[in-house]
Amino acid sequence: MDVMEDAGAGIPEAAERVMYGDELSGGGLPEIWLNVFAKLDPKDKPAFSGASPVWHDWVESKRTQSLVNEILPLLIEVLPMRNSLESRELCQAWKNPNESLFSNASHFRQPENAFGNSEKVQGFMEEMRGHPGNPFLTRSIDLCYSGQENRGGDRGVLWREYITNVDLLLEEFGSHVHFAEICFNEDEELLAQLNLQGPEIDGLLREWLILLPNVKQLCISGERHSPLADQEIREYYRLNPLPRLEYLETVDLDCAKVPMVDEFLKCGCVPENIKRLRYSHIERYGDRLILPAAVYGFVNLEVLQVPILLPHLKRLASLERRPPLRELTLRFEDGPYFQDVFPVLEVFAETLVQFRASSTIRVRESGEKFTCNLPNLKNLYIGDYWGPPELLFQFKAVTDLEIFRMTDSNGRYVRDLETRMNASNIWMMMPSLQNLTLGLFVTLVRNDGLKWKLTSWNFRSVLMEMVTSTFTDYFSGSLF
């Protein structure tokens, strides 16, 4: 039998040929049938085992190594949640691919299992009634009140009912959660109805964290709605310390008040366990900004994304036990000079693969030659670069370079970045460079040696279409 012919003919013809056979065609060589099997459409592979008793016996012995990864995604689409959860207990071959279907490469992944109102929480609790063990397929949970109830009623009453239901959910299943997002995004109208006067939001957050003892990644946003002043927040957490989360590795605090960040990193984290840290504040503090003292004890920190002052970065670099930083995304509040920032980065040269500065970095006009050795730096982004592109040529390992805005030595904004970069011979001087992004609209990609081409003008087209449509609708309504 011709193997390739059978693979192309499909299951019915192949089945007819061997229906009454008593041995595998092709000498029964496993590698031949693996080749045939690999060329079949995933939806046809279950039929392969039913083509004949001999084929069934052969596939039976190969099912965990050949079938599971192919068929499991198809089954997950139609299986009820409870059956999907139970399938993980069959064997390790089912457990690993089942959970990997929902893995996310991002350091700060978005949790699944969103519970936005009481109906969603109550429905889930009912479905999981009596379920032993972990009820979350991805071990993740998203607690963000949406207010999208299928019934009317006072919004304040509905919000408090939602909080009560989440309490019950976490009391029952909180210990199984590894990835959690907690968002207090209540609008002004709802806040007025709730009339929060004391530390209710802070107390609620603390109670939920106590019920999430095994969380590994945690995102908290919206804490700015706390009516307490900074000193009151510190006093509350002094009297009511946050629980220490023994397994926490990734922390993401969005639009958080400074005392809340300080207290969480000090009390809620095991310093040696924290590998990824991102936080942002509600307001900009300028030279009053501080880096929480706890961060200097995060000796295994790999990813840091924070607002910062250059002295804070220098102190991190001077530590006896420096963290092995791989990715730095910083918003400098003090507008430092290029020649002051990059020597500090050199201290992390062995591990640093990405540096992103969303703020201004200026080149000091000194006339002296400046060199910096970052042999492993692959991704470089500068939001507002005040200097010549030639200074960037020394980063020979960079594959992705992004510059949102460039200003020349005379303080003039460089309007045609594309022409300026092309004239600088950047593709020759940076041999590893693959992608060059300029502003919002232009991405240049290395192609066929040193040639380059535009690839992302479509964003400009979409944006212009949206603006044109908006103005057309506006003037149509106004004039006609």
End-to-end, the C-alpha distance of the chain in Å comes to 75
Q: Determine the Cα–Cα distance for residues 135 and 182; give it in Å rounded to an integer.
A: 19
Q: Determine the Cα–Cα distance for residues 76 and 87; give it in Å rounded to an integer.
A: 10
User: Do 133 and 217 belong to one domain?
Assistant: yes
User: Do 14 and 42 belong to one domain?
Assistant: yes
Residue 470 placed within a domain? no
Tokens representing residue 410 in the block: 């005379």
User: Do 121 and 199 belong to one domain?
Assistant: yes
Residue 392 placed within a domain? no
Q: Give residue 132's pLDDT.
A: 81
User: Do 194 and 233 belong to one domain?
Assistant: yes
Q: Give residue 209's pLDDT.
A: 97
User: Could you tell me which residues come within 8 angstroms of residue 60 by beta carbon, excluding any fewer than 6 positions away?
Assistant: 49
Domain that holds residue 164: 108-283
User: Do 94 and 122 belong to one domain?
Assistant: no
Q: Give residue 104's pLDDT.
A: 42
Residue 29 placed within a domain? yes
Q: Give residue 182's pLDDT.
A: 93
Q: What is the CATH number of the domain that holds 123?
A: 3.80.10
| Beta strand pairing call for 217-221 and 442-447 | unpaired
Tokens 């970045």: give the residue: 417
Q: Give residue 226's pLDDT.
A: 63
Residue 409, judged by CB atoms within 10 A of its CB (0-12, 13-18, 19+), counts as: exposed
User: Do 7 and 142 belong to one domain?
Assistant: no
Q: Give residue 312's pLDDT.
A: 95
- Is residue 429 within 8 Å of 417, Cβ to Cβ? no
* Residues facing residue 437 across a β-bridge: 402, 443
User: Could you tell me which residues come within 8 angstroms of residue 266 by beta carbon, excluding any fewer than 6 positions away?
Assistant: 292, 293, 294
- Is residue 320 within 8 Å of 344, Cβ to Cβ? no
Q: Give residue 462's pLDDT.
A: 37
Q: Give residue 52's pLDDT.
A: 64
- To which H or E segment does residue 221 belong? strand 217-221
Q: What is the largest CA-CA distance in the chain?
A: 87
- Is residue 376 within 8 Å of 402, Cβ to Cβ? no
Q: Give residue 133's pLDDT.
A: 85
User: Do 39 and 179 belong to one domain?
Assistant: no
Tokens representing residue 309 in the block: 């002052």
User: Do 94 and 118 belong to one domain?
Assistant: no
Residue 334 placed within a domain? no
Residue that terminates a domain, selected from 222, 248, 283: 283
Residue 300 placed within a domain? no
Residue 179 placed within a domain? yes
User: Do 123 and 18 belong to one domain?
Assistant: no
Rounded to 10 degrees, what is the CA torsion of 453, 458, 464, 469?
A: 160
DSSP calls for 419-440 = HHHHHTTHHHH-TT--EEEETT
DSSP calls for 443-464 = EEEEETTTEEEE--THHHHHHH
Count the domains in the chain.
2
Residue 238 placed within a domain? yes
Closest residue by Cα to residue 428 from 402, 457, 455, 389 = 389
User: Do 72 and 140 belong to one domain?
Assistant: no
Q: Give residue 336's pLDDT.
A: 93
Predicted model pTM: 0.72
User: Do 91 and 68 belong to one domain?
Assistant: yes
Residue that terminates a domain, selected from 41, 75, 98: 98
User: Do 66 and 113 belong to one domain?
Assistant: no
Tokens 């008593």: give the residue: 22
What is the C-alpha radius of gyration for the chain, rounded to an integer number of angstroms?
29
| Beta strand pairing call for 451-454 and 140-144 | unpaired
Residue 243 placed within a domain? yes
| Digitized pLDDT (tens) for each residue of the chain, 480 residues in all | 444 444 444 444 544 444 444 444 444 445 666 666 666 766 666 666 666 666 666 666 655 555 555 555 555 555 555 555 555 555 555 555 445 444 444 555 555 688 989 999 999 999 988 888 888 878 999 998 887 665 666 777 888 899 999 999 999 999 999 999 998 876 666 766 777 666 888 888 999 999 999 999 999 987 555 667 888 889 999 999 999 999 999 999 988 888 889 999 999 999 999 999 999 887 666 667 889 999 999 999 999 999 999 999 999 999 999 999 999 999 999 889 999 999 999 999 999 999 999 999 999 987 788 999 999 999 999 999 999 999 999 999 999 999 999 988 777 888 888 888 888 889 999 999 999 998 877 788 876 544 444 444 444 443 444 444 444 444 444 332
